[in-house]
Amino acid sequence: MRLHRQRRAKERGSALIEISMSYATLVIVALLSLRASVNVTSGQAWTVKQAMSDAYITRETALASRIPFDTLTGPSSPWVAHPSVSTSTVTLGKLPGGQSVTATIHRTRIPDENNLSQAGGSGTAASNPTGTEAWKLQSLLSYTVGGKQYVKSRTVLRVR
């Protein structure tokens, strides 16, 4: 009789161990699944932010290509004369869930060396008889994804 009771107690104890092991296995599988889903989501966020920054820098290139020359060289130009740089914070878009994605845009315009002096160059009537004016418009977009800093740049040459 006593032997029979000891065997039952061991069986009950082994059931408790089996339940504990099953619970531990379930928790480990749940944590691994959570980690995998977080990794997938963070990769998607990186891709979305890269696409947003590409779209913004493309917009910047289009703006540099079509801005009227009088506005470009005027005092209210988005591209200030080099060595000055205009810096502003811009919103690239929003992630699913409403989180805004921001970046910093840096702009400057560099005159061609052969521009006449009133156009920021050191050219003369002999070296530039037609009074041609050329400017490099540089835009740098700086943004952060996952703690890493990224920069995209575009340079547009405008001539009149």
Q: At residue 102, what are phi and psi to the nearest 5 degrees? A: -115, 160
pLDDT digits (tens, 9 = 90+) for 118-139: 778 878 888 888 888 899 999 9
Domain ranges of the chain: 2-159
pLDDT digits (tens, 9 = 90+) for 57-77: 999 999 999 999 889 888 999
The total number of residues written for the chain in this structure? 160
The number of angstroms, rounded, from the C-alpha of 42 to the middle of its chain's C-alpha atoms is: 14
